[in-house]
Chains A and B, each alone.
Chain A
């Protein structure tokens, strides 16, 4: 692994019937894409809970992809529409929290579209690479300096209240 180049870590939720099969097809056809994407199989894009996306970011993911069947082609008839609605709501909130748009991506790919999915994966990896590491947990790890302030307090209290003999 190159020391200079930032290698993003992207989590992708793939639905069992379309996008997971698209990924399988990309494999069978030996389409190469960058390995920065780590996949989780769910039965439907409708299973993707916004808390999964937030969990991934909170554990250090640089990007998250939600992939499902094209609208109108969902194996479970219309559940990918719910995924679409949740993506819009999540995106709205993440932008308000200061996260860049391209870190969360909603991607449609049918079981026959291994090429579409692998191209989308490559595109997203480059977009996230250009944005740099997200390292969201780093936002709340405080810098040093307050440990000293904490340890000083009992001494200050003693100094203020103990009356020397």
Chain B
């Protein structure tokens, strides 16, 4: 019997949603299990990293790597799986862009530890102990991963072959990449390295709402209004990131009357998602008075980083906020 192709799935700094999303392909998971020999999937099977280390390089055919890189162990695993895999897929928004863990880039290790371990209302830590990467115990020296100041994307760590965007990716797209890889392993041509699975246009293309020219006098928060179901959400005043977000999700959120928040990442060729949102929203503000423009922006978008870089901060051009301790930042 010929050996089945090997499949690895790993989670770095993530929420576990991508793992569940894999299961969202429902019974097709059985096809996957039938087609592949799953050699690593910490959430589901009890494989050992050491066994992966002992494999020959490139013996894993495809690795679906979700989660961003924010500590030394995750970085090690990214490097290891890159070495051991023919095809490394950045699976889900965390691996692709940083996603929600990436918002920690508005702080740094010191500030995070200080809050989590000392100042949080529910913490009881009178000695102010924070994790250290190294600890001398009577039994020997203990090591835990080094916690980075800056969250990185997978491709800021190792070379990535393909990206499946989304938080989490849509079931159809997950199934599609699996099928493409299976076909590729069977000799069919694979997409060019670096391809992001999804369309090359933005969510507006998939959204069925009516669109007119945009003239914005105020940005509204989602809790301030219930939008109607027919008109463009931006025209109704809500910040809908569908403008700049890569299509491929079927405009799911606008379909249920909720503005798109951008989990599918930027359109093809775009380096910085937030810049696209900033420029498009700003350009159509209906005012030529600097004071009024400033007021509209400050009142309607009180958290610009959270609004424009909710999923993409580590992937953006500036990657992170300023670090405290140099006179700026948090």
Contacts and interface: CB of A to CB of B under 8 A. Distances in A.
Interface in A140-165: 140, 142, 145-146, 149-150, 152-154, 156-158, 160-162
B316 interface: yes
Contacts of A156: 143
B72 A146 contact: yes
A86 B278 contact: yes
Nearest to B303: A96
A96 to B, nearest CB: 5
Interface residues of B, number: 52
Contacts of A139: 150, 319-320, 322-323
Contact of A152 (B75, B79, B143, B283): B143
Contact of A157 (B53, B276, B304): B53
Contacts of A82: 282-283
Contacts of B319: 58, 139-140
A93 B50 CA distance: 44
Contacts of A73: none
A139 B317 CA distance: 12
B191 interface: no
B133 interface: yes
Contacts of B148: 142, 146
Interface residues of A, number: 41
A81 B106 CA distance: 31
Interface in B294-330: 294, 297-298, 301, 303-305, 308, 316-323, 328-330
Interface in A60-119: 71, 78, 81-82, 84-86, 88-90, 92-93, 96-100
A33 interface: no
A109 B4 CA distance: 68
Nearest to A156: B143
Nearest to B272: A51
Contacts of A150: 72, 75-76, 79
B304 A96 contact: yes
A54 interface: yes
A152 B320 CA distance: 28
Given A88-B294, A97-B322, A98-B321, A154 B53 contact: yes
A100 B298 contact: no
A90 B308 CA distance: 11
B40 to A, nearest CB: 13
A54 B272 contact: yes
A13 to B, nearest CB: 14
B279 interface: yes
Interface of B: 48-50, 53, 72-73, 75-76, 79, 106, 133, 143, 145-146, 148-150, 152, 271-272, 274-276, 278-279, 281-283, 285, 287-288, 290, 293-294, 297-298, 301, 303-305, 308, 316-323, 328-330
8 contacts: A57-B317, A97-B320, A98-B323, A99-B328, A142-B148, A142-B149, A156-B143, A161-B50
Interface of A: 49-51, 54-55, 57-58, 71, 78, 81-82, 84-86, 88-90, 92-93, 96-100, 136, 139-140, 142, 145-146, 149-150, 152-154, 156-158, 160-162
Q: Which 5 A-B pairs have the closest CB atoms?
A: A98-B322, A98-B329, A51-B275, A89-B282, A54-B317
